Amino acid sequence: MDTLNFSSSDFNAVLITLKLALTTCFFLALIGTPLAYFLAFKSKRAKPFLESIVTLPLVLPPTVIGFYLIVFFSPDTPLGKFFILLTGEQLIFSFYGLVLASIIYSLPFWVQPLQSSLEKIGNDTLKTSESLGASKFDTFINVIVPLSKKGFLTSFIISFAHTMGEFGIVLMVGGGIHGKTKVIAISIYDHVEQLSFGKAHFLSGGMLILSFIILLTLFYSNKRSMVKVK
């Protein structure tokens, strides 16, 4: 086991993976948070329908999602055309295609923990705040966010970890291109196919330890108030 085990291509894969996970979490915070708020406090009739859609990526085989995303991302679709117009590149097999795909399949991992944490706060707390003179936005920033810190932390950690670990969809949508869309999971797959078990061991072991540390942090911080995570 020498430095050969960690090639520059592997190093790139690690960088791309981290960049992908962080970018995805950033957009999830922007999209998933209002969605969780809406599901927790606002929706009544639309709730079962919306919840089903948000949860779909949890139950569908990654290949099904991958397949549909390839179809939607192809340069012939309005989305594909728009992206080419915007960047000159095609969406499929690009890093941004990968980000978009990750947002979609990690959405339930952001929305669900946050939603259950928001539901625990309850409508009465919101009413109390508003009746004391705080607007809805004021209430969100000064009451909801501090009260659901753990929900946000859980959502972030679980979404981050899940995005790092996804394989099937990332392979289908990204194509595993060196230095562009090749993430750790795909690198490991390639190493195993080429029977370079040493390199596979190195990356896999790294993922194993990192994931364990992430989960340990999460459950340690949630020790007192258990947050149910699917």
Partner 1 sequence: MMTSLFVKITGYVGDFFLDFEHEFNTNGITVLYGSNGSGKSTIISVLSGFINHLETKIVFNDKSIENIRIFPPHKRPFGTMFQNPILFEHMSVNQNLDYPIKRNKFSDQTVLSKEELINYLELGSLLNRYPQNLSGGEKLRVALARTILKKSDYLLLDEPMSDLDIKTKARLLNFLKMINKKFKIPILYVSHSIEEISQIANEIILIKNGKKITSGTVSKILNSNSFQRLIGKFESSSVLEGTLIKTDQLMNMTTLEVNGQTLIVPGRPGLKDNIVRVRIRSRDIIVSPVKINTHITENELVGIITKIYTEKDTAFSELVIKLTRIKIKKTSQILRARITTYNLNKMKLAENKNVYIYISSVSIDRQAYQY
- In this structure, what is the dihedral angle of CA atoms 94, 99, 105, 111, given to the nearest 10 degrees? -170
Least distance between partner 1 and beta carbon 167 (Å)? 39
Least distance between partner 1 and beta carbon 152 (Å)? 13
- Looking at the Cβ atoms of 140 and 189, the one nearer to partner 1 is 140
Least distance between partner 1 and beta carbon 38 (Å)? 18
- Looking at the Cβ atoms of 78 and 133, the one nearer to partner 1 is 133
- Looking at the Cβ atoms of 47 and 127, the one nearer to partner 1 is 127
Spatial distance between the Cα atoms of 40 and 118, rounded to a whole number of angstroms = 6
Amino acid of residue 32: G
DSSP string covering 197-227: HHHHHHHHHHHHHHHHHHHHHHHHHTSSS--
Neighbours of 53 (CB within 10 A): 12
Neighbours of 182 (CB within 10 A): 23
- Looking at the Cβ atoms of 150 and 182, the one nearer to partner 1 is 150
- Looking at the Cβ atoms of 9 and 135, the one nearer to partner 1 is 135
Positions that interact with partner 1 (CB under 8 A) = 122, 124-125, 127-136, 138, 143, 146-147
- Looking at the Cβ atoms of 23 and 125, the one nearer to partner 1 is 125
- H helices of 40-183, in order, are 47-59, 62-73, 78-87, 95-121, 123-131, 136-139, 145-147, 149-165, 168-174
- Looking at the Cβ atoms of 112 and 148, the one nearer to partner 1 is 148
Least distance between partner 1 and beta carbon 69 (Å)? 40
Least distance between partner 1 and beta carbon 120 (Å)? 10
Spatial distance between the Cα atoms of 213 and 230, rounded to a whole number of angstroms = 19
Indicate if the alpha-carbon torsion angle 41, 46, 49, 50 is positive or negative. Answer: negative
Least distance between partner 1 and beta carbon 26 (Å)? 25
Neighbours of 48 (CB within 10 A): 10
DSSP state of 5: G
Least distance between partner 1 and beta carbon 136 (Å)? 8
